[in-house]
Amino acid sequence: MSKTIVGTFETRRDAEMAVERLVQEFGIERTDIFIAAKGEANSAGLAAAGSDNESGAPSVEARDDGAHYGVIVVSVDVNDDKIARTALDAFQEFSGTVEE
């Protein structure tokens, strides 16, 4: 039985962390995981996080023009209930909201 688990994330960092957990720790193939902005506009989430934040080291001038136009949607295609539960747990670990 194949199904798709879908979660939304407020930051790009949380979405990326969930994906890495699925791939690196649970062995889900990257080709079974899809990431997109929800809606028409490109987005890096609702707020800056992770690599979107300004670093503490002196470097180029700070920017505040990140594309924060909406949530990030991550979906994963799974073939059994154990893997589905694993995906749900990874989404929730990184503050994802699971869409039913």
Amino acid present at 78: V
Identify whether 54 is part of a domain.
Answer: no
Render pLDDT for 32-46 as a digit per residue (tens, 0 to 9): 999 887 766 555 554
pTM of the full structure? 0.71
Domain residues for the domain of 24 are 3-49+68-99
pLDDT, residue 12, reads 83
> What is the count of structural domains for the chain?
1
Encode 26-62: b = buried (16+ Cβ within 10 Å), e = exposed: eebeeebbeeebeeeeebbbeebbeebeeeeeeeeee
Would residue 63 count as lying in a domain? no
CATH of the domain at 80: 3.30.70.3450
For residue 14, the surrounding DSSP H or E stretch is helix 12-20
Span of 27-31, 59-63, 64-68 with lowest mean pLDDT: 64-68
Give me 100's structure tokens.
């039913």
Residue 36 lies in a domain: yes
In a domain, 90, yes or no: yes
